[in-house]
C-alpha cells in the first residue's frame, strides 16, 4: 500500500519562500498525478494543483503563479515551492495521489506551515 | 469555479443512530457521456491521513464499511453514516472533480451526542 510523507520547515517568515517535500513509498510514482492540497485554520480544503510523473503540472489559478511543483521519480519525491508567503498561506499541507478518476485515493498526514514573523 | 456548500457545519448524533451530511454543488457535476457524478467524500481526523470514502457520488472505496453510503439528487449530494460508531468522529468533506480547479465543501464536523 502506497504511503506518503510530507516534510517542511514548519515556520516561515512573511514574503519568504517555503519548500515542501513529499516522499512516496510502497508504490511507483509512474503514471500517476501527485497533488498538493492544503487545510486552512478555518477548516477549508484548497487544491493547489498536481504534477504528473512526466513533469507536466497543473496549478490552481488562485495561487497566482506562486506555486511550483517538481518531481523526482528516482528519489520517489514530489516537491512544492511557494513564494511570497503571507499569513493566509498558514495551513496543513497534504500530499495526495490522484486516482484515474481524479479523486484522491492516498494522502499523507500533512505538514504544518506557519507564516509568522 | 464550482462552489460546494455543505450542511450542516456540525452535528451531534447518538451512537448507533444515523448521521446525514449534505453537499450542494453550484452547478451540475454530472458528465452526460458516462452518466457519472464527479463527486467524492473524505473523512479527516487529526494527525491521520485523510481517507477517501466515496467516489462517483455513491461508490465506496475498498475497505470502507458499508455503514457509509452516498447518494445524489441532481446537484444535491448526501453522505449517510448509519449505526454511528465512536470512530466516526471526524470532519467530512465533499469534493467535485468535474472541472478544474477541484473544489471542496467547507466541511461538516461530526460528534457523538
Q: Tell me: the pLDDT tens digits for B69-84?
A: 999 999 999 999 999 9
CB contact under 8 A, A105 and B52: yes
Does pLDDT of A27 surpass 90? yes
Q: How far apart are CA A50 and CA A34, in angstroms?
A: 5
CB contact under 8 A, B107 and A45: yes
Does pLDDT of A2 surpass 90? yes
- Position A99 scores a pLDDT of 85
- Position B83 scores a pLDDT of 97
Residues 6+ apart with CB under 8 A from B105: B4, B5, B6, B23, B93, B94, B95
CB contact under 8 A, A44 and B55: no
- Contact indicator for B92, B10 with CB cutoff of 8 Å: no
Residues 6+ apart with CB under 8 A from A64: none
Q: In the predicted model, what is the mean pLDDT of residues A31-54?
A: 96
Label the pairing between strands B10-13 and B108-112: parallel
Does pLDDT of A101 surpass 90? no
3-state secondary structure of B87: helix
Q: In the predicted model, what is the mean pLDDT of residues A12-30?
A: 97
For B101, the closest of A62, A104, A108 (CB atoms) is: A62
Cell numbers linked to B95: 469534493
Q: How far apart are CA A96 and CA A110, in angstroms?
A: 9
A contact test, residue of B50, B52, B61, B95 with most A CBs within 10 A: B50
For B40, the closest of A4, A103, A106 (CB atoms) is: A103
pLDDT tens, residue order, chain B (113 aa): 999 999 999 999 999 999 999 999 999 999 999 999 999 999 999 989 999 999 999 999 999 999 999 999 999 999 999 999 999 999 999 999 999 999 999 999 999 99
CB contact under 8 A, B95 and A104: yes
- Position A79 scores a pLDDT of 98
- Position A64 scores a pLDDT of 78
Residues 6+ apart with CB under 8 A from A72: A78, A79
- Position B55 scores a pLDDT of 98
CB < 8 Å to A101, chain B = 55-56, 97
- Position A100 scores a pLDDT of 82
Amino acid at each position: 500500500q502506497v504511503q506518503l510523507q510530507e516534510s517542511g520547515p514548519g515556520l516561515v517568515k512573511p514574503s519568504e519562500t517555503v519548500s515542501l517535500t513529499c516522499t512516496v513509498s510502497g508504490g511507483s510514482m509512474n503514471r500517476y498525478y501527485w497533488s498538493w492540497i492544503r487545510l486552512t485554520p478555518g477548516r477549508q480544503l484548497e487544491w493547489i494543483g498536481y504534477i504528473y510523473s512526466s513533469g507536466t503540472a497543473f496549478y490552481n489559478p488562485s495561487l497566482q503563479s506562486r506555486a511550483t511543483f517538481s518531481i523526482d521519480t528516482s528519489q520517489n519525491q514530489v516537491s512544492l515551492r511557494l513564494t511570497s508567503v503571507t499569513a493566509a498561506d498558514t495551513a496543513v499541507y497534504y500530499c495526495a495521489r490522484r486516482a484515474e478518476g481524479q479523486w484522491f485515493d492516498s494522502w499523507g498526514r500533512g505538514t504544518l506551515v506557519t507564516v509568522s514573523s | 469555479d464550482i462552489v460546494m456548500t455543505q450542511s450542516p457545519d456540525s452535528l451531534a448524533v447518538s451512537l448507533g443512530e444515523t448521521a446525514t451530511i449534505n453537499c450542494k454543488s453550484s452547478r451540475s457535476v454530472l458528465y452526460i457521456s458516462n452518466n457519472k457524478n464527479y463527486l467524492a467524500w473524505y473523512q479527516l481526523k487529526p494527525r491521520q491521513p485523510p481517507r477517501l470514502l466515496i467516489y462517483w457520488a455513491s461508490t465506496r472505496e475498498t475497505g470502507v464499511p458499508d455503514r457509509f453510503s452516498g447518494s445524489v439528487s441532481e446537484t444535491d449530494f448526501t453522505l449517510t453514516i448509519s449505526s454511528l460508531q465512536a470512530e466516526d468522529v471526524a470532519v467530512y468533506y465533499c469534493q467535485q472533480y468535474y472541472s478544474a480547479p477541484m473544489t471542496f465543501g467547507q466541511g461538516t464536523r461530526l460528534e457523538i451526542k
